[in-house]
Structure 1
Amino acid sequence: MDKKIFLEILNKYNHGKASEQEIEMLHAYYDLFDAEENVLEQMTASQKDNAKQQIATGIAAQMYLTPVKKATFSLNRKWLAAAAMLVLVCSVGILLFNNEKTKPNPNKSQTAAVVIKPGHNQAVLTLADGSTIGLNDKEQGVIVQAAGLKVTKRNADGLVKYESDREAAPSINTIATPRGGQYQLVLEDGTKVWLNAASSIKFPTHFAGSQRMVDITGEVYFEVAKNKKMPFIVRTQNQQIEVLGTHFNVNSYTDEAKETTTLLEGSVKVAKLRNGAVQASVAKILSPGQEASLTSTDKVININPADLEAAVSWKNGYFKFDKADIQTVMRQISRWYNVDVKYQGEISADLFVGKIKRTEDIAGVLRILELSKINTSVKGRTIVITN
């Protein structure tokens, strides 16, 4: 954003003439005033301090004059609530987009094609005998009952729950989501599992022996039921995660640069897998608030502080980006909206910060990018990014 435009909006704000969207923008800028990018770097230190004080005074006045809205307003500043927000921290500035009020460009090819909706609860359950059940079109109630196994589904949230006769031999089941899908299940031991788009989990109908082991692909969030006598083990292509009872997220998409395990609470041990074998010498213990990352070629596991909100934002119904490049943004959009992405020209070096609701149609998401000076068009189910 140009400095002149920013100061004009600030003046309107101080005279009570700023629109709701302009007010949201200034409030977001208030949280970024220590940054050294965009319009802020065009201002002197005194100009920045003065502008920050004016915005802070306006916020305090509004909260004081309208105490009824105080709780809502406070929540909006934290979540930037009704608006979906993106910030370009390299060259463009901060942009706010209210999807309920802003209409997509009618000249875009999106209007001539089928409307691309966001993902929803859908998955496929594959039983041990190879038979499949589409979970997206099943009604509430029992969907499998045979050989000591009972699988039930709640239609409100698509949750699948396993109950098994422990006297019967366990069999292996798989639940997989397509692009544009997500799903939840509760394993026989009480462990809760959330699957993001294009993900899968392979698991026994009940756990036997000295450990509880599952295999996953894509991105999966776990709330593991505690059982000190039987550790819970998650295996991906490149890592093995061992826990007793905890909450953690695993991102193991093959199109991402690395696999990442993020710990929210409890403790986990992350070890490297090579050709399916555990490399005991390459293992680390995570503490809450940390993430472990590695690639197939890494010789060590890297431990870093984690952005916990970003790690589980998909589970909570939104995307969160923290200085993510356009390709990282579009990979997530591609999986959730079941679209392909094509780039024409030089790929933008801008980085994005912000949040987008996962309930938005793709037209709204693309409008955010367009406001950020990223040119987009829709051809069938392909999003073309032009620079």
Structure 2
Amino acid sequence: MMGRVSECSKIVRWAGPEPELEGDGTLCWNGKLSQGQQAASAAVRKAMAQQDELLVWAVCGAGKTEVLFQGIAEALQRKERVCIAAPRTDVVLELAPRLERVFPGLDIAALYGGSPDRHKYSPLTVSTTHQLFRFQEAFDVMIVDEVDAFPYSCDQPLQFAAEKARKPRSSLIYLTATPTRRWQEECRSERRKHVKIPARFHRHPLPVPQMAWCGRWPKALQKGKLPSRVADWLAIRLAQKKQALLFFPHIDEMQQALPLIQRLEPRTASVHAEDPDRQQKIMRMRQQELVLLLTTTILERGVTFPNADVAVIGAEEDIFTESALVQIAGRAGRSADFPHGEVTFFHFGRTRAMTRAIAHIEMMNKQGRERGLIDG
């Protein structure tokens, strides 16, 4: 495992026997998998045992992490090293504690920029994809979560790092709710091994976004006003005492909207990738100390707020791709206690990405009903 290096640094690779893996990999989880999760779990276990490659295509909120539990437990029992790689630190910080709870006998390594676990040798590692550059032929099982997400999806060196970190004989499991169009076609033509979970574990359909025209919203913000339809939407949520996530395409416009929304609800904050207090604000939202959270696409994945509605302001902007909009819509209705969240795309003009995202969600709901995975 490498530390920080510069161009002239010597790189040393250990050539001796592998250190003995320590810790009890016994799975301690009393949950029950849904029918869709059971099928996916069996496929994951088979791929890991046969050192094969597999795509798990599962809707947002399907319970992808739980699908991995039994396969990881069996790999650990075979004394194999397992790595779960995710594109963003937020996802690593959410995954690691969940895995620690179900594998209490393991000292799990969580690797991200500034992580204290940098030199920890563990049978189970949760890592950002950037941290995979530290490893070479280290893992028997490589799991890449949110494989379509930026920056992994468009960064060939990161993809190379994931390959380099695997042993020559190893399994590779991809997880995503939004495969690329090429991968979707490969799945349909059976050229890519995959298993699909088209429904959430709680058997309720995915919330289908509604589109709402809101005029020239950037000009309204510049004049110190919220678009009237956005203000009305917020008033309804506040009257219902519901939390809400509001996605903006750019930081500047989000910061223009922040004081306007704080007049309606002081318990409002904003977050973006460079915000040093991002993790604290996310925690405050989880603890319901915040009612409204404004965000860029940084929170399109990997976070769960049980009873939050979702709005996209300026859904016509290029940054809101089909994949991004599907993921953003997937923030609503995730909890079995609150499965009926609402999603609204506020726009100044409909785009192909918006209509495709809605069609994608409706397709998954249709397939979930056809397979008997959705009630009603």
TM-score (normalised: structure 1): 0.32
Larger strand fraction of residues: 1
- Bigger radius of gyration, 1 or 2? 1
State the TM-score, normalized to the length of structure 2. Answer: 0.33
Higher relative contact order at CA 8 Å, sep ≥6: structure 1 or structure 2? 2
